[in-house]
Structure 1
Amino acid sequence: MTVSERVLDLFAVPGDVRPVPGGQGRSVVAGDLVLSPGRDAQTAAWLNPVLAPLAVRLDLERVSGRAGVRVAMPIPARDGSWVVEGWGASRYEPDTTACHDPALLAATGRLLHARFDEAVRARPAGLDARTDRWAVADRLAWGPADDLASAAERSGSGLVRGLVEERADVDLGPDQLVHGDLAGNVLLDASGTPVVIDVAPYWRPARWAEALCLLDAVAWHGADGSVLDPWSTGVGRQAVVRAALFRLLADCLDGRGSPASGDAPRKVERAYGRALVPLLG
């Protein structure tokens, strides 16, 4: 994607942009910032004021040797906006490498979510305004059984229908602010400290977010399926079922709840089907 002159000007960075690894692979480095497309202005308006002070606190703790996790610092544009033409900015972290170790990802998530729980004690109202396909899938995966069954039929996915049968009303823990896309969004800085990027906010149990992270790690990032073995029964199993329903519905249905077109749904179904074999057979 091309970054316009207006975006570069408002974020006060030069035009010599270059791709940056990590995340979804669409971000670019410009000056001392990472610019990322597809940002939702309404989400950034409430989320970034949470992330910015948290990032400062964690950086200060890192200086004192106490921080086990860091968060990429969101940066506003010169006019005070967080998003310009769909682009958001965060401080560039040089000399980082992508983290795909499932144990470290899970540990990072636990530290991050503990900090989120301290910083945000009530469900942000901005979450209710989201209408993207991920938000729709999230609501379906946790919603009434009839709505979920109907969505499963529309999806055309046998795996989704099987997961609907597996879903049970089990308490997975208290809802809180969580990162719903952690597996591909953790970098290690030069000191080996995890740096969390591209926070995808949801108000769900931390156990669900960890299950989702490990499921994604197996499906897309080469983690061994055995990392899901401890999640094969009881509450853990239900966390994985909800996580898988969320992921599959987000790709099998569009933002209006209609069947998605193209090859992506079948690709996703194959990836998660393989990851879930040890649990579902």
Structure 2
Amino acid sequence: MKAIPGHVLTSFQTEDPHPTPLGPEWGNGARVGRMVIAEAPAHATWSSKLREKITVPGVRVVRPVRATDGRFTVAGYRASDFVEGEPGHRVDEAIAAALRFDEAVAYFPAPTLDRDDAWARADRAVWAGHASHVKSGQLSHADFFGCCIFDGSLPPALTDIVPAEGPRPYGYSAALTLIDGLVAGAVDDAVLSRWSHIPDLLFLCDRALEYRTSLATTFGADANVSSNIDRVGSLLMSHRGATL
């Protein structure tokens, strides 16, 4: 991460001269005192407004930090409270948390952010042919697994809310978390059976894998990730055959 401008630090009332770099779960930002400052993505203000007020049972939602003038972003940066935790292989716990997230946000409208980045284009393309599912959908998290961190026996913490490009079916946040866990090799294949009670799980997993495949192609994923994506595709096909 590039150096945080001094006036940004001042706006968020911190002067720590030695920021500690953090990983993608924190938007590749840096810990500065009691907070994390990172470059603000297109959804930053929307996410901050929602994280400021939302409660998700069994999930520690990381709260945003406002600047001295009340803004959520300053000169392209945002700030959030820092909480301890590391990304982990606790995929089943993350899936359960993602389902609770979908339940908690069911009555919040999906945002209209007019994005045209690779993630937004991939998401729109994946759902373009499924108008009926989109019409009856809800706000969903497009990177729950990537934003979910764990600290011992504490409930998982959610560092950010990354919205899908439009309404998605209930359970899509969890299905995408499940697929991300499988592609990362962080969970056993039986995870599909353990969460088979999620409505239309295989359909949602197909969309999630298609989304990740598109992004892997766009960003040139390494051979190991591509191989894992192919393996997960075969796994889904096997489960579809078993349910016929």
| Aligned residue number for residue 153 of structure 1 | none
Per the TM alignment, residue 131 of structure 1 is displaced from its structure 2 partner at its CA by: 0.9
Structure 2 counterpart SS, 1:205: coil
After TM superposition, the structure 1 = structure 2 runs for residues 66-215 of structure 1, keeping only pairs within 5 Å, are 67-94=57-84, 96-118=85-107, 120=108, 122-126=109-113, 129-144=114-129, 171=133, 174-189=136-151, 192-202=154-164, 203-215=167-179
2:163 and 2:237 map into 1 onto residues whose CA distance is: 28
Q: Which amino acid aligns with 1:44?
A: A
1:46 and 1:79 map into 2 onto residues whose CA distance is: 17
Q: Does 1:276 align with 2:233?
A: yes
Structure 2 counterpart SS, 1:36: strand
2:101 and 2:132 map into 1 onto residues whose CA distance is: 24
Q: How many residues align?
A: 233
**CA 267–76 in structure 1, closer or farther in 2 if over 3 Å, else same:** farther
Aligned partners of 1:51 and 1:73 also within 8 Å: yes
| Aligned residue number for residue 31 of structure 1 | 33
| TM-score, reference length from structure 1 | 0.72
| Aligned residue number for residue 239 of structure 1 | 204
Cα distance per residue 1:6-42 (max 9 Å; x no partner)? 32222222222112356167221101101223x22x5
Structure 1 counterpart SS, 2:140: strand
Report the aligned-residue RMSD. Answer: 2.9
| Aligned residue number for residue 52 of structure 2 | 52
Structure 2 counterpart SS, 1:35: strand
Aligned partners of 1:175 and 1:204 also within 8 Å: yes
Aligned partners of 2:141 and 2:162 also within 8 Å: yes
**CA 196–141 in structure 1, closer or farther in 2 if over 3 Å, else same:** same
Q: Does 1:12 align with 2:13?
A: yes
Cα distance per residue 1:228-270 (max 9 Å; x no partner)? 2465xx93221111111111223324xxxxxx6xx43765432
Per the TM alignment, residue 188 of structure 1 is displaced from its structure 2 partner at its CA by: 2.8
Per the TM alignment, residue 172 of structure 1 is displaced from its structure 2 partner at its CA by: 8.4
Aligned partners of 2:102 and 2:173 also within 8 Å: no
Structure 2 counterpart SS, 1:49: helix
- Structure 1: any 5+ residue segments left out of the alignment? 59-66, 145-167, 254-259
Cα distance per residue 1:191-220 (max 9 Å; x no partner)? 511211122112312322211100101112
2:44 and 2:234 map into 1 onto residues whose CA distance is: 37
1:8 and 1:271 map into 2 onto residues whose CA distance is: 41
2:140 and 2:110 map into 1 onto residues whose CA distance is: 11
Question: Identity of counterpart residues, as a percentage?
Answer: 26
Cα distance per residue 1:94-140 (max 9 Å; x no partner)? 3x34343122111111111211124x1x33233xx111111101110
Bigger fraction of residues in helix = 1
Cα distance per residue 1:66-99 (max 9 Å; x no partner)? x4112100112223332234322110113x3434
Structure 2 counterpart SS, 1:206: coil
Q: Which amino acid aligns with 2:230?
A: G
**CA 184–238 in structure 1, closer or farther in 2 if over 3 Å, else same:** same
What stretches of structure 1 move > 4 A for 4+ residues in a row?
168-173, 265-268
| TM-score, reference length from structure 2 | 0.82
Q: Which amino acid aligns with 1:32?
A: R
